[in-house]
Structure 1
Amino acid sequence: MRETDQITVKALLVTAVASGQGKTSVTAALARKLVRQGQRVRVFKCGPDFIDPMILERASGAAVQSLDLWLVGTDACRRLLAEAATEADVILIEGVMGLYDGAPSSADLARAFGIPVLAVIDASAMAQTAGALAQGLRDYGPVALAGIAANRIASSAHAAMVAASLRDIALLATLPGQAISLPERHLGLVVPGELSMIDSVLDTLAEQLVFNSAAWQALPPVRLPVPAAAAALPPLLAGRTIAVARDAAFLFIYPANLATLQALGAKLCFFSPLANDGVPDGADAVYLPGGYPELHAATLAAARHWRSSIRAAHAAGVPILAECGGMMALADTLSDLDGACWPMAAILPGSVSMQTRLAGLGSQALPTAQGPLRGHTFHYSTLTTSVPPVAHTLKQTTIGADVRAEVRGEACYRIGSLTASYFHAYFPSNPQAVAALLLPVAPNAPT
């Protein structure tokens, strides 16, 4: 609903006491249930993430954007929420990690915009203790706790014990333990395109979600100010065509990144290295996002046209921006978890090796001549190379309640027209820096 200077909408931030409680399952189930009831639902994801938004987009039928006070910025978050409110009956935001984890946290986001919180609790091994958890989650911050979603409920009697323990807090939803759940791998949930039964799983989750309609109807709407129009970006990439790799090996792309390139004036064309596509003719720059090259190493190794094409583009001085999986595909070799070693495009000297433990995680910023470019890192591989980095990202580590320290993060490499790093950039945080990375470097210009 739109008033003179405000927009009102029903909204919830879905959070938990920790990762692994079922936030994505509950958010997806609720989104699909509301959509099946004829509601217009928009979903956001708090924090840097590529995979959960794919699941949530499938559940809701609408693109999922990032909301994060640091990565996206408070003003941009407010604008995104208000824009969504003009076209949705309900806004759902899936939090990141636990409610109070990180700086800023999901709780900070909820408080910044007055959004009530739905806390997911894995109740599979508890009953009355759920009440203690709920009250602690509410009062520690505090936050406006709309209610609890009890996940992995064994029976109606179990649900009744949990509800009684909550005292003055509503049991807003319950979800039973799932015989079929969303499968996971090393970077998180398996992406929807790989699951033939994804819609069936989402429908089952929606059907099994027991929803407290009275508590839902009692939730007050969130009021958001009507946003001012965002300032137009300078057409720094006008007339230029950016070739973007997009397939099952290169699928980790913020939707906002593509929108930013277009807002800068670029024309986008997509191609598939897995299909042995070469860099499209007429491309003025190439963007290789992250993904799962390690799962498709044999196919990429056999894609001779792709490999020779990207090498030719590099030799011709075409700017190439390679992030995480995109960088891995440009190394000399990639060794998978089975020990097999596969030849890659051999633009970045060195070898990439998969490992079972996490090698990099967290929000970071890349210093550039145009200012910091914000983003994040999350990978299970390491790169061994003789190439010296031209820069490192900076990650901020919380030492105490209000004490933060900047720590050196991911290496950034520059080889001719190639810029490569494990760092995933969020382009709207500094469009001018992104444009500079995708424009040819003038001879003798500093890097």
Structure 2
Amino acid sequence: MNRFVLAGTGSGVGKTTFTIGIMRTLMKRGLTVQGFKCGPDYIDPTYHTAVTKRPSRNIDSFMMSHDTVRAIVARASQDADAAIIEGVMGFYDGKSPLSNEGSAAHISAITKSPVILIVNAASMARSAAAIVKGFQLLDEHSNIVGVIANQLGSKSHFEIVKAAIEQECGIPVIGYLPKGAVPMMPSRHLGLVPAIERGDLDSYFDSLAEAIEETVDIEQLLEITKTQPLDVAESIFDAQPQKQEVHIAVAKDAAFNFYYEENLELLRTYGATLHYFSPLQNEEVPEKAQGLYIGGGFPEEFAKSLAKNEETKQSIRAAIMRGLPTLAECGGFMYLTEEIRNRQGQVFPMLGIIPGRVRMQDKLAALGYREITGVPGNFLINEEEQAKGHEFHYSTYEGEHTSPAYVSKGRFRAQQEGYLHKNIVAGYTHFHFASNPQLVENWLTACLEVNNGLFPTINEY
């Protein structure tokens, strides 16, 4: 089979453009393609899924063990002809500036995947070779087997760059894209999910494939990225001992769609049946639900609709009052507060379960990995348990309460975060259950206790 990492020298060099373009090209040749994304990104996997018609998977060497990374890749690609792993930031960029942890380089080593390095060679000639050479030398174990140049001025420019890199670095330059060869990528935020669902981006994907087929040697790409399937004996995704079935309601639509595929898979592995409902469509929480999961997304962009959809709001309030163990992450946390104030100063009433409000801002409020420790009374993660996740948001919470849900440790500090009250765990952090599957067991156990009358009905909201 073929498996390779598409890495870049930095952010913005065209990783996603080449990834989805190559995916589409291989699909047109009749190959089954499986996508992966290094790191905690939710947006790029949405593109992968739209092109390949298969759920793209996040793999992250900080948030999960090496064995789990390998298991995710092996399981998802076992019936695929090609597995394409899109890198994150620059090839060596990850959790720390002092190691490869969390980087595409680390993922390449863990999964034994060759690397195609994308270089923005605009206004360069021989200097492009110096860049590639530096990436080769920083880690002698880097398995960079080929280069693709981006933003070139002409075919003759490509020939110059190709000659320099191949002489100095000893690896082939298998193609390029000239400046302006492909249209600008559509919005990666507002409207992405509904646009994909309507098929509005299909023509864009086709235009990428056509451009890449014209100037990238796909046959050579397939030749230099042949590799062996990963052999994984057992993993955290193996079927667990039979447990009583648990029903989890999951809010999923254009406003709430940031869920790690492995989080959902682990819930199923441990006995959960997932029932999706759409707050944007004013749908109620499914009656049989014993637990509630409201993930991240873009509630601020759909705040007007969410504010007026009273049937959904009332059903969520009722579900929480019945004691359903509820996890609300980032956008879900925002939805549970009293109101969202957008960048234009408009205010939209939300569920009002969590005291306080959320204010959107233009400046990034938080970004980075988180190491999470629970607190007493948290049904998901107690004070002796740890998990990993990440934050990424452009809003701030304005309110006061004395019941944080967990302690969150970032690169610079550890602090109490989120909101905990009885059966609610909410906050900006996106948990990755693969970092500690015990969280899944904890949650489902709490759900069964509600079903058996052991978790008290709440009447305080």
Same fold (TM > 0.5)? yes
In structure 1, the residue matched to 2:89 is 97
2:228 aligned partner, one-letter code: R
Which is worse superposed, 355-364 or 339-348?
355-364
Secondary structure, counterpart of 1:273 in structure 2: coil
In structure 1, the residue matched to 2:289 is 283
In structure 2, the residue matched to 1:171 is 173
**Displacement after TM superposition at 1:237 (Å):** 6.7
Does the alignment pair 1:387 with 2:401?
A: yes
**Displacement after TM superposition at 1:317 (Å):** 1.5
Indicate if the aligned counterparts of 1:29 and 1:202 stay in contact, CA closer than 8 A. yes
**Structure-2 separation of matches of 1:38 and 1:199:** 17
**Displacement after TM superposition at 1:253 (Å):** 1.0
Q: How does 1:334-349 map to 2 (within 5 A)?
A: 334-349=340-355
**Structure-2 separation of matches of 1:417 and 1:392:** 14
Secondary structure, counterpart of 1:147 in structure 2: strand
In structure 1, the residue matched to 2:300 is 294
Indicate if the aligned counterparts of 1:96 and 1:106 stay in contact, CA closer than 8 A. yes
Secondary structure, counterpart of 1:77 in structure 2: helix
Task: Give aligned pairs, total.
Answer: 426
In structure 2, the residue matched to 1:62 is 54
In structure 1, the residue matched to 2:22 is 30
**Structure-2 separation of matches of 1:148 and 1:379:** 34
**Structure-2 separation of matches of 1:443 and 1:255:** 29
Match of 2:367 among 361, 371, 390: 361
In structure 1, the residue matched to 2:150 is 151
**Displacement after TM superposition at 1:296 (Å):** 0.3
Query: Over residues 377-399 of structure 1, what are the superposed CA-to-partner deviations in whole Å (9 max), with x where a residue is unaligned?
Result: 111101112112434444453xx
Query: Over residues 183-213 of structure 1, what are the superposed CA-to-partner deviations in whole Å (9 max), with x where a residue is unaligned?
Result: 245xx69625325531111111111012224
1:128 aligned partner, one-letter code: R
Secondary structure, counterpart of 1:374 in structure 2: strand
**Displacement after TM superposition at 1:282 (Å):** 2.0
In structure 1, the residue matched to 2:234 is 229
**Structure-2 separation of matches of 1:254 and 1:120:** 26
Indicate if the aligned counterparts of 2:372 and 2:386 stay in contact, CA closer than 8 A. yes
CA 256–303 in structure 1, closer or farther in 2 if over 3 Å, else same:
same
**Structure-2 separation of matches of 1:357 and 1:152:** 29
Secondary structure, counterpart of 2:304 in structure 1: helix
Q: How does 1:132-211 map to 2 (within 5 A)?
A: 132-142=130-140, 143-166=142-165, 167=167, 168-176=170-178, 177-178=180-181, 180-184=183-187, 191-194=192-195, 196-209=199-212, 210-211=215-216
In structure 1, the residue matched to 2:108 is 110
Indicate if the aligned counterparts of 1:238 and 1:264 stay in contact, CA closer than 8 A. no
CA 389–171 in structure 1, closer or farther in 2 if over 3 Å, else same:
farther
Aligned-pair identity (%) = 35
**Structure-2 separation of matches of 1:339 and 1:389:** 28
CA 54–212 in structure 1, closer or farther in 2 if over 3 Å, else same:
same
Unaligned runs of 5+ residues in structure 2 are: 96-100, 374-380, 457-461
**Structure-1 separation of matches of 2:21 and 2:145:** 17
**Displacement after TM superposition at 1:127 (Å):** 3.4
Secondary structure, counterpart of 1:274 in structure 2: coil
**Structure-2 separation of matches of 1:303 and 1:130:** 55
Unaligned runs of 5+ residues in structure 1 are: 1-8, 398-405
2:252 aligned partner, one-letter code: R
CA 395–133 in structure 1, closer or farther in 2 if over 3 Å, else same:
farther
Indicate if the aligned counterparts of 2:403 and 2:421 stay in contact, CA closer than 8 A. no
Does the alignment pair 1:251 with 2:250?
A: no
Q: TM-score, normalised by structure 1?
A: 0.89
Q: CA RMSD in A?
A: 2.3
CA 192–37 in structure 1, closer or farther in 2 if over 3 Å, else same:
farther
**Structure-1 separation of matches of 2:89 and 2:405:** 29
Which is worse superposed, 121-130 or 289-298?
121-130
